[in-house]
Amino acid sequence: MELGFLGLGQMGSAIAERLQAAGARLHIFDPNEVATAPFVLRGAVDEASVRAVADAAEVVFACLPNGSVSETVAAEAAQGSAVRIYVEMSTIGSPAMGRIASLMDGRGIMLVDCPISGGPKGARAGTLTVIAAGPAAARAAVRPWLAQIGKNVFEVGERPGQAQLMKLVNNLINAANMATAFEALVLGAKGGLDPDQMVDVINVSTGRNSATQDKVPRAVLTGTFDYGSSLTTMLKDVVLGLGEAEALGVPMWVHGTVEQLWRFAEQQGRGREDFTALIKVLEGWAGTEVRSRG
């Protein structure tokens, strides 16, 4: 099967590796030659442009950093002579996805809105959560490929934008979990509690959440801060989620405050750091650290 793939950053390259390993012959484009080189060695075709990828493959996947880039790339891909299904895997929000959908509709191309969750490690392991929305025929065509990258694949509707909303609902909760867990753990550490024991207690009690069960043990207690996504990326998703809420007239009292904390951390120069580095801001204020003592 000939597949196109646009965007070989951390997430894109990990997803493309899974597709290539599953037997797809990839037509790829990324302006970073270092990113494309390993795929070429394994048999991929390094195309000269986005348009060239869309001229070569009927199904084109895109995994890009933000909505502006996604819209620009989609506009060029829509001019391709071969592409019939365009799978947008970026988290860009419903308005941007709606504009891409209109563009693709005008060219007779079916769009699958398909954000993913789980980070680069999950992508390489094939354990991502994949959320898809779009025409039934398009979802059926790409379903076998989505099964190669995702442990859990959810199809949430026929209208592009629905998958974006689902992803942002999840990420709003994720961002809030991290903010509140980090804040409370800093309180405990300041009061002299053992960080490892705190996490053990929380994880068999009512305070447990994805931050305490996974992110804190893996990247905070160890001091590695290498979970796999940037602080700026999380802030982007919180802002997009609040935009969805505003468009639907839904008050977001708690998440408005959560957004302020993430934005402050970015303004302190931590945007490129791993998103678990958010706790460093809270630790700085309190004059303590949440690290394993062993």
Of 182, 152, 209, which Cα lies nearest the Cα of 276? 182
Dmax over Cα atoms in the chain, in whole Å?
A: 65
Q: How far apart are CA 50 and CA 60, in angstroms?
A: 10
Sorted by where each begins, the domain ranges of the chain are 2-159, 165-286
pLDDT the model gives residue 97: 98
**Is pLDDT of 277 > 90?**
yes
Is it true that 2-159 and 165-286 share their CATH fold? no
Secondary structure string (H, E, C) spanning 245-272: HHHHCCCCHHHHHHHHHHHHHHHHHHCC
For 225-246, how does the pLDDT look when each residue is reduced to its tens digit (9 = 90+)? 999 899 999 999 999 999 999 9
Q: Pick the catalytic residue: 167, 215, 236, 280?
A: 167
CATH class of 165-286: mainly alpha
Kindly compute the dihedral angle of the four CA atoms of residues 32, 37, 39, 45, in this order, to the nearest 10 degrees.
80
Burial bucket for residue 267 (CB in 10 Å: 0-12, 13-18, 19+): exposed
Gap between the Cα atoms of 179 and 254, Å rounded: 11
Q: Is 167 a catalytic residue?
A: yes
CB 67 within 8 A of CB 92: yes
Q: Where are the beta strands (DSSP E) in 158-294?
A: none
pLDDT in tens, 63-89: 999 999 999 999 999 999 999 999 999
Confidence bin at 294 (pLDDT 50/70/90)? confident
Residues in a beta bridge with 5 = 28, 61
Q: Indicate the fold that domain 2-159 takes in CATH.
A: Rossmann fold (3.40.50)
Confidence of residue 1 (pLDDT cuts 50, 70, 90): confident
Between 118 and 138, whose confidence is greater? 138
Residue 182 banded pLDDT, cuts 50, 70, 90: very high
Q: Which two tokens stand for residue 127?
A: 């354990």
